Copies of this chain bind each other. A is one copy, B any other.
Amino acid sequence: MTSQHPTPGDARPGGRTARNTAAVLQATLDELGERGYGAITVDSVAARSGVHKATVYRRWGGVDGLVRAALEHSTERHWEPELTGSLYTDLLRLVETVTSGFTEAPEREVSAAAVAAAFESEEVAEALHRFMSDRHRRAAVIVTEAIARGEAPRGTDAEEVIRSAIAPVYYRLLISREPVTADDLRRAASITAAAAAAGTFTGTPGPPTP
């Protein structure tokens, strides 16, 4: 054995365990994207990753555990929103990014499959919730920067601003099953930025003030 081939069970980053984990979770995402949650098996993930299926069963327990771990693995990846200097353009870049995640390779099929799998498994639904909560938190810097620039009042619920901007994109793509146009994205960003400026995301909501 050389340093290229560490001993079994080596848990160092870059060691065999780490490589096996990365291979298995990537194979899970690939299977999820290409075949969907209903068609994934521990056998297919093991075969695709080149890791023995007894190892896969021992570490992840089954398909739900694999999908949950793959989503958690995605959560840990570095992601931060682009900051462009204004709330409207930051939100516009954000909704453009969300849209391309559902319409462009390589994430396209996986994003929809993760949402679909959450309907089938409580374990996956909880992992999806944690993944989305993490994204809300990371994207919130868009709003804290806007507050610092005076574009929205102090006390603005930053994560709620993020939800408000991205919800129409998810709604069209996954619920009403309609295309998302550039105008749709501009409208989502515009409505949310205007509502934030008007203080709608602070305190208790009620009827709009004329």
State whether A136 touches B168 (Cβ < 8 A).
Answer: no
A166: interface (CB < 8 Å): yes
Return the contact of A170 from the options B120, B175, B206 (Cβ within 8 A).
B175
Residues from chain B with Cβ under 8 Å of A177 in the complex: 118, 125-126, 128-129, 132
Instruction: For chain A, give the interface size range.
Output: 35 or more
Min CB distance, A140 to chain B, in Å? Answer: 14
Residues from chain B with Cβ under 8 Å of A168 in the complex: 163-164, 167
State whether A208 touches B200 (Cβ < 8 A).
Answer: no
Min CB distance, A8 to chain B, in Å? Answer: 37
The 8 A CB mask of A144-177 against B (1 = contact, 0 = none) is 0000000000000000100110111011101111
Residues from chain B with Cβ under 8 Å of A206 in the complex: 186, 190
Q: How far apart are the CA atoms of A208 and B120 in the complex, in Å?
A: 40
Q: How far apart are the CA atoms of A89 and B208 in the complex, in Å?
A: 10
State whether A205 touches B176 (Cβ < 8 A).
Answer: no
State whether B191 touches A207 (Cβ < 8 A).
Answer: no
A81: interface (CB < 8 Å): no
Return the contact of A198 from the options B112, B125, B194 (Cβ within 8 A).
B194
A16: interface (CB < 8 Å): no
Known: A88-B207, A160-B187, A197-B208. 7 other contacts (CB 8 A): A86-B207, A118-B174, A128-B177, A133-B176, A167-B167, A186-B204, A190-B200
